[in-house]
Structure 1
Amino acid sequence: MHWRRSIQLLLLFTHLSGIILVAGMSDVWVELRAPRFVVHRHSAVLRCEHNVDPESLYKVVFFKNGQRLMKFVRGRDPPYEFYNITGAEINLISLSPTSVTLDRLDFTASGTYACEIALETPLYFKVSKIHELNVIVRQKFRPKIKIKRKKLSPTDILEATCQSAAAHPAPHLTWFINNMKVDERLTTPHGAVSVHRHHHGMPLSMTNSSLAYPLSSLQLYPNQTVDVTCMSTIPSYASMGEGFADVQNYTVPVKVVSSTEPTPTQLPVKIVSPELNLSARCHVERILFVLVIFVCHIYS
């Protein structure tokens, strides 16, 4: 019956100050909002969001890798309690019961984070889903593109390679032709390669990829230009409302020329072997010798 369902969704609890009406516990939600990627030595804000009445909220706890990071308990003096944290500093100025700002993040700050809320009346608590946070090193340069041939006919295969700059983690490479994403079946990822560079002790890596794109699919004409773009990103895809943590791209124009052979500007030259050249030279020398004797005989 409808009235029984309503009773199940609502709980009546007696308090010293009277009667408090609390929504059914199945309707309570809690979520940790934080960036997925943070640049090394930058800051990150962790927010424990929920739909509980702030006056009913008794305790909030933040966790890192399953260990307590910060605890807020309403009514205690002081209300905040801090625990050991590696790889970051808690900003005390911006601290609130449901928000923690971590400053100067080092690589050891990477890990899984969560938060928990608790009610005193009724006695109830709920933990958020785990949120993964990674500290990254940005790329300092654009990716490098190498084109096998920069002048192609409309029926040729465009072959190219791309190499990202060094970063942590290794960037992801995506190809574009005339600003349109290339089908991944036409690309070949060659994986990440470690470089002999470190950023505050963290080894960096770069990524390589190759492209084999049939120009016939574009229905091109001679004297047109094709823009080949390589985009290097961290992570491999952008999340809703957050975008890429790091992105670099580079574009190279490739000219499409006529597939017909150019008209020759001079008569073809016959090439013979050195032996034939020597025989012909001897034959000419004998003729010249006979002509000299003949001329001398006439004028003698």
Structure 2
Amino acid sequence: MAAEFVATVFLALLALLHTVCGLKLLMLRVPSQKLRAHDVTLKCMYDLENSTLYSIQWYKDGSMFYRFVPADEPPGQMFPLPGVSVDLQHSSDSQVTLRLLDLESSGTYRCEVSSEAPKFLTEVAEAYMNIMALPKDAPKITGMRLKYNEGDPINLNCTSSPSKPVAVLTWFINGNQVDNSDISQRRVSTLSDAHFYT
């Protein structure tokens, strides 16, 4: 009778342990903003809690671009995707490194962690990363005359080179910021074929 009770308690504890122990996704690190032409390392930290890792899969906007399966040889594999260039040498089960980001790299990145049999658990986390592009050149001022008399109107044009997001231009005269009421603004905010604002 006592042996049956001990066996029952042991099985109950075993069942409880099986229920409690499971896969946990601890942290997803995806920067909200990065500069064009830079590299970035995305991190996906997890705790298997006595489970065995089956795979790590990374997606951008719903399309898989990197998979890590310990049982495969090699375990890390990349899949072609516009805007995503995986550095396999610096990618693993817990991180993936992307090289030379471009404007097409903007999007929602998702990490999917799956455990092996018999549990077959899956945890998912995602975050959005926006790629920015700074103007390549300084703003250009046109329309300036060599000489002005007191009271003459000043009509100048200041143009920024392409960027994303669109550049904010501020006028200064002799170090003093010009009041916005004295400025006529004309902003072209249409996205060009190169994904730049001009």
C-alpha RMSD over aligned residues: 4.0
Native 8 Å contact 1:164 1:171 kept in 2: no
Of the three residues 124, 128, 148, the one matched with 1:127 is 124
Task: For 1:23, give the aligned amino acid.
Answer: C
Q: Give the number of aligned pairs.
A: 156
Deviation string for 1:196-251 (max 9, x for gaps)? 997x923325xxxxxxxxxxxxxxxxxxxxxxxxxxxxxxxxxxxxxxxxxxxxxx
Of the three residues 201, 209, 234, the one matched with 2:194 is 201
Of the three residues 100, 112, 115, the one matched with 1:116 is 112
Unaligned 5+ runs, structure 1: 14-21, 143-162, 174-186, 206-300
Structure number with larger C-alpha Rg? 1
Task: For 2:54, give the aligned amino acid.
Answer: Y
Structure 1 residue matching 2:165: 3-state secondary structure: coil
Identify the structure with the greater strand proportion.
Answer: 1
Say if 1:141 and 1:91 are closer, same or farther in 2 by CA, change over 3 A. same
Residue 229 of structure 1 corresponds to: none
Say if 1:133 and 1:194 are closer, same or farther in 2 by CA, change over 3 A. same
Q: Does 1:44 align with 2:37?
A: no
Of the three residues 10, 17, 31, the one matched with 1:11 is 17
Structure 2 residue matching 1:93: 3-state secondary structure: helix
Residue 56 of structure 2 corresponds to: 60
- Normalising by structure 1, report the TM-score: 0.43
Structure 1 residue matching 2:82: 3-state secondary structure: coil
Taking the aligned partners of 1:196 and 1:120, their CA distance within structure 2 comes to 49
Q: Does 1:78 align with 2:74?
A: yes
Task: For 2:102, give the aligned amino acid.
Answer: D
Shift of 1:165: 5.4
Native 8 Å contact 2:68 2:93 kept in 1: yes
Shift of 1:192: 8.5
Select the structure with the greater relative contact order (CA < 8 A; seq sep ≥ 6). 2
Structure 1 residue matching 2:18: 3-state secondary structure: strand
Shift of 1:96: 1.0
Identical-pair percentage? 24
Shift of 1:172: 7.0
Taking the aligned partners of 1:34 and 1:42, their CA distance within structure 2 comes to 14
Native 8 Å contact 2:166 2:189 kept in 1: no
Task: For 2:122, give the aligned amino acid.
Answer: F
Native 8 Å contact 1:72 1:97 kept in 2: yes
Unaligned 5+ runs, structure 2: 1-8, 140-157, 170-179
Native 8 Å contact 2:25 2:113 kept in 1: no
Taking the aligned partners of 1:91 and 1:203, their CA distance within structure 2 comes to 26
Task: For 1:194, give the aligned amino acid.
Answer: V
Task: For 1:113, give the aligned amino acid.
Answer: Y
Native 8 Å contact 1:61 1:68 kept in 2: yes
Taking the aligned partners of 2:116 and 2:42, their CA distance within structure 1 comes to 23
